[in-house]
């Protein structure tokens, strides 16, 4: 039995390449006049997707047309499917096409001028499918073209390293050879050679690397002899470009590790609902995260039951201790102001989705009675947004151990007029009632995490508006082990911090107690009179300023001298009785501190706070601030 032939010219494409693409179809049977042929590109119309062509045959750029064996040029009719959101292009045959005759579908320029051609998608893909539906008298046959999308020219060398290492303890490094779009590539000039060395390390370590066909290479068993701050350097000997890893802090000994990831967010490349497996693997393999949580919205429209089951299955299967921790999570949108938007993180697998419409899950109070704080972690998100406002009056410290201080749509730290460098701005306004600083001064205690990019649920309309979009954030968790339980335990202890997307290493402590600590003068009476505060910030770029904040006011501000490393110490000698904030109910007065640092590239890091309770003090010299 003869089969139709579908071929492409060229047989592969380069990501981001603009060209005239040819799809040759040779039918195995005759196709009569007036038959309809529908060409389907399968593009979601995102900036990274395959560019959709225009159909005005009079225009000479980014055009789609059909060409028959006799050279006749046929225009297309665009057809949009409102259910699948797919754009297709329909051709009506003006004459019969005999068996074995060629039909050519072209995308690009009739003059084959590359600058006027059609733009390939910006991400690599094995066997991208282009469908051709042939409708002969109501009977539809589908033929498929396949085109490999390969990486573009080598542009960037990405070096994946741990942030904390111990002296003489071996670790692995992965080097990714990337094009300008972040795809793995081996598309480089002939004889390109990469030189690897350590910054501030012994001079005899110097390796030469060839670019492998896979586009990445693993370098095992590296180590540092001495404590310090290091970066791994890669130099392209072909053009002398130099690339550096994120900073690595080496210490004499440490039982703690720094892990990076997201508890709320998705990525532009893979939809977290339609393709959760690829989405999770993208964060693990391409972004080198150490943890990730699913974050579908709770509604039936956003997350049908079959989708939720698939998400739960993939989370369970991909989770792997000591490599990549994956949590089952969802976003629950409650009453504005009283409940706000929550990201729920389950500690165990295969839990049922919690839908706001269900009687058992229609309020936070009911949910908190149903679960224990060991079963679920509740993270208030986007708290200053006018559409997901949470005023913290019903804040529950038992479940709400951390709060999202930042995501790609803005920071909820404070108002823009109060100095917020990445405020919520656009049709959705900021609301001070949801300010994190306002919550802290009111006595609520929580650590800081950051969210990423999101275009689902309440965020879905942001793309079609003037809402200001920033870089996706990152959460850092300082934990003993790389397991779900250990990470959840670290979050419960507020041993975490947030950045606007860069792997900035930061820490501060008071009386040798780390961020997230809750201290008391009952156990450390000396804190009444002096708080010795020390810490460090190690940036991915030179630091612009490092600010130590006490009770929402700037205690001191440092200006590092054109350096990405900054260590500091500060003695706060103000008596606690003069600065303590009056707490609600029967709790003691308190003071809190946290650290915020800004790089020259405008990226920000916020550490979780440290609190000090003023106890066992018989008399106050001055009235307590309200």
Do 568 and 440 fall within a single domain?
no
Provide CB contacts within 8 A for 365, sequence distance 6+. 394
Do 243 and 339 fall within a single domain?
no
**Residues of the chain whose pLDDT is less than 50?**
1, 618-624, 626
Do 34 and 140 fall within a single domain?
yes
Cβ atoms of 484 and 438 within 8 Å: the answer is no
Sign of the torsion formed by the C-alpha atoms of 427, 433, 438 and 444: negative
Do 236 and 202 fall within a single domain?
yes
Sign of the torsion formed by the C-alpha atoms of 354, 356, 359 and 362: positive
In a domain, 488, yes or no: no
- The CATH code of the domain that includes 130 is 2.60.40.10
In a domain, 477, yes or no: no
The H or E element containing residue 312 is helix 305-318
Do 321 and 441 fall within a single domain?
yes
Which three-class secondary structure state does DSSP give residue 397?
coil
Do 9 and 74 fall within a single domain?
yes
In a domain, 266, yes or no: no
pLDDT in tens, 124-160: 999 999 999 999 988 999 999 999 999 999 999 999 9
What are the structure tokens assigned to 497, written together? 């911090």
Which three-class secondary structure state does DSSP give residue 485?
helix
Which three-class secondary structure state does DSSP give residue 307?
helix
In a domain, 259, yes or no: no
Q: Which residue has the tokens 């900036």?
A: 47
- Phi first, then psi: what are they for 114, rounded to 5°? -55, -40
Cα dist. 166→129, 163, 377 in Å?
A: 48, 10, 31
Do 137 and 161 fall within a single domain?
no
pLDDT in tens, 291-332: 999 999 999 999 999 999 999 999 999 999 999 999 999 999
Which of 273, 193, 272, 284 has its CA nearest to residue 240?
193
Which of 441, 505, 444 has its CA nearest to residue 474?
505
- Among 427, 452, 471, identify where a domain stops: 471
Q: Biggest alpha carbon distance in the chain?
A: 101
Q: Where are the alpha helices (DSSP H) in 319-425?
A: 364-370
Cβ atoms of 533 and 540 within 8 Å: the answer is no
Do 136 and 209 fall within a single domain?
no
Taking the C-alpha atoms of residue 415 and residue 521, their distance in angstroms, rounded to an integer, is 33
In a domain, 426, yes or no: yes
Do 12 and 105 fall within a single domain?
yes
Residue 211: domain span: 156-254
pLDDT in tens, 188-197: 988 899 998 8
In a domain, 229, yes or no: yes
Sign of the torsion formed by the C-alpha atoms of 265, 269, 273 and 277: negative
Q: How many structural domains is the chain composed of? A: 4
- Among 83, 117, 150, identify where a domain stops: 150
pTM of the model: 0.91
Supply the DSSP string of 9-37, one letter for each residue: ESSEEETT-EE-EEEEEE-SS-B-TT-EE
Cβ atoms of 26 and 199 within 8 Å: the answer is no
The whole-number pLDDT of residue 202 equals 53
- The CATH code of the domain that includes 169 is 2.60.40.1930
In a domain, 518, yes or no: yes
Do 229 and 145 fall within a single domain?
no
Q: What size, in residues, is the chain?
A: 626
| Rg value, the chain, Cα | 29
Do 9 and 50 fall within a single domain?
yes
Do 290 and 344 fall within a single domain?
yes
- Among 150, 175, 195, identify where a domain stops: 150
In a domain, 361, yes or no: yes
């Amino acid at each position: 039995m003869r089969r139709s032939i579908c071929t492409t010219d060229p047989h592969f494409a380069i990501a981001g390449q603009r060209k005239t693409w040819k799809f040759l179809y040779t039918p195995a049977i005759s196709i009569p006049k007036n038959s309809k042929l529908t060409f389907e590109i399968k593009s979601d119309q995102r900036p990274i997707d395959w560019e959709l062509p225009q159909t005005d045959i009079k225009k000479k750029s980014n055009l789609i047309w059909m060409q028959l064996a006799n050279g006749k040029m046929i225009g297309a009719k665009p057809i949009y499917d409102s259910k699948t959101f797919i754009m297709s292009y329909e051709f009506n045959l003006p004459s019969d096409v005999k068996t074995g005759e060629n039909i050519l579908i072209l995308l690009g320029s009739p003059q084959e001028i590359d600058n006027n051609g059609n733009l390939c998608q910006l991400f690599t893909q094995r066997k991208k499918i282009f469908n051709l539906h042939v409708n002969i008298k109501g009977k539809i046959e589908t033929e498929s073209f396949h085109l490999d999308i390969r990486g573009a020219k080598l542009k960037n060398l990405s070096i994946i390293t741990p942030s904390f290492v111990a002296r003489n303890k071996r670790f692995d490094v992965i080097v990714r050879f990337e094009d300008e779009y972040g795809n793995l590539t081996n598309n480089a000039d002939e004889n390109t050679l990469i030189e690897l060395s350590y910054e501030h390390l012994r001079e005899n370590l110097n390796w030469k690397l060839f670019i492998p066909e896979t586009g990445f290479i693993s370098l095992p068993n590296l180590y540092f002899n001495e404590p310090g701050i290091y970066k791994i350097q890669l130099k392209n000997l072909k053009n002398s470009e130099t690339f550096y890893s994120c900073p690595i802090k080496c210490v004499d000994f440490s039982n703690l590790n720094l892990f990076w990831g997201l508890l709320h967010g998705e990525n532009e490349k893979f939809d977290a609902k339609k393709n959760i497996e690829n989405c999770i693997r993208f964060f693990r393999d391409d972004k080198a995260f150490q943890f990730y949580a699913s974050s579908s919205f709770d509604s039936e429209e956003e997350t049908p039951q079959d989708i939720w089951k698939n998400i739960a299955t993939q989370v369970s299967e991909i989770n792997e201790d000591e490599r990549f921790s994956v949590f089952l999570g969802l976003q629950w949108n409650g009453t504005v102001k009283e409940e706000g938007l929550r990201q729920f993180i389950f500690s165990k697998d295969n839990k049922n989705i919690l839908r706001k419409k269900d009687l058992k899950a229609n309020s936070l109070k009911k949910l908190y009675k149903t679960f224990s704080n060991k079963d679920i972690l509740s993270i208030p998100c986007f708290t200053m947004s006018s559409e997901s406002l949470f005023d913290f009056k019903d804040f529950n410290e038992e479940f709400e151990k951390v709060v999202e201080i930042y995501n790609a749509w803005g920071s909820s730290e404070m108002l823009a007029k109060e100095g917020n460098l990445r405020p919520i701005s656009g049709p959705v306004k900021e609301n001070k009632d949801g300010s994190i600083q306002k919550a802290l001064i009111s006595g609520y205690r929580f650590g800081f995490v950051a969210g990423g990019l999101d275009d689902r649920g309440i965020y879905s309309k942001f793309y079609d508006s003037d809402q200001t979009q920033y870089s996706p954030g990152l959460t850092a968790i300082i934990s003993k082990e790389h397991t779900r339980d250990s990470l959840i335990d670290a979050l419960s202890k507020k041993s975490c911090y947030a950045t606007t997307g860069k792997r900035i290493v930061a820490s501060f402590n008071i009386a040798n107690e780390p961020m997230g600590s809750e201290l008391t003068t009952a156990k450390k009476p000396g804190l009444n009179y002096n708080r010795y505060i020390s810490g460090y910030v190690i940036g991915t770029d030179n630091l612009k300023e490092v600010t130590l904040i006490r009770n929402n006011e700037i205690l001191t501000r440092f200006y590092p001298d054109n350096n990405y490393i900054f260590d500091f110490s500060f003695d706060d000698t103000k008596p606690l009785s003069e600065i303590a904030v009056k707490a609600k109910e029967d709790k003691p007065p308190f003071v809190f501190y946290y650290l915020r640092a800004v790089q020259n590239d405008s990226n920000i890091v916020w550490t979780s706070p440290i609190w000090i309770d003023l106890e066992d003090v018989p008399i106050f010299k001055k009235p307590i601030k309200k």
